[in-house]
Amino acid sequence: MSQDKEKFERYTFRCNPDQGVDVLGWGTYPKRSVLADQPMKVFLDSFNTPEEAQARFPQATQLSSRLTDPQVSLNHLPGPDDHGPIAGGMYPDDWAYEPKDRPSAFKP
């Protein structure tokens, strides 16, 4: 199933394990996403030959590579040991198994 071809900034090809060619669309995650402003890679379609892929996606002009493709970073997301606005963790359900440590505001 193909995605809307016009919503991506660039397009690349990659070889798939079935000896075919995949087309990827590249853009930027929207502000409402936890990955806001980071590179977005979306699988668009798969083809048997590079010629079929080029005919359907003429704007795809280069081969995708892990060495040259932008990478998404998850460093900004809270981890289990991060201490945020709630002492002991980021979320009230962090205390689900330790009710004695739950702040009074979150006690049932």
Compute the distance between CA of residue 89 and CA of residue 91 in angstroms, rounded to an integer: 6
If you average pLDDT over residues 4-25, what whole number do you get? 85
Instruction: Among 40-44, 55-59, 67-71, 80-84, name the one with the lowest average pLDDT.
Output: 80-84
Residue 90 has pLDDT above 60, yes or no: no
Which SS3 state, helix, strand or coil, does residue 41 take? strand
Residue 108 has pLDDT above 60, yes or no: no
pLDDT-based confidence at residue 63 (cuts at 50, 70, 90): confident
Who wins on pLDDT, 85 or 25?
25
> What does residue 99 show for φ and ψ, rounded to 5 degrees?
-60, -25
Residue 100 has pLDDT above 50, yes or no: yes
**What integer pLDDT is reported at residue 82 of this predicted model?**
59
Beta-carbon contacts of 99 under 8 Å, excluding residues fewer than 6 positions away, are 107
Compute the distance between CA of residue 4 and CA of residue 12 in angstroms, rounded to an integer: 15
